[in-house]
Amino acid sequence: MAHRPKGGLQEELLRYLQPPVPRRAALVSERVAPTLAGIGEAMAGRPADEVLAALDAAVRQAGATPDRTALREFAAQIEAGENPFEA
């Protein structure tokens, strides 16, 4: 059986079908996830240093302390044209 990639619409529908979990919604990672995904999409192919600055600012704006090592890895992936924040 061939594996079909999920379409954007299907992912959105599945997200809406998930029951809300208040504790999970309160996590900074959940609140900032849409912003990080947007950065990944908008900055694909841009230099990692620029991407890193945008990721860092988004995490700080959400009220968290960024993990610079993780953000550097994400920035490198985004520079390569990948979006590590897509579901």
pLDDT tens digits for range 43-64: 999 999 999 999 999 999 999 9
What's the whole-number mean pLDDT along residues 33-51? 96
How far apart are alpha carbons 39 and 53 in whole angstroms?
11
Task: Quote the tokens at residue 79.
Answer: 């520079």
Runs of H (alpha helix) within 1-87: 8-17, 22-25, 28-42, 48-61, 68-79
Q: Are 11 and 87 in contact (CB under 8 A)?
A: yes
pLDDT for the residue 44 = 97
pLDDT, one tens digit per residue, over 3-24 is 555 567 777 777 767 767 777 7
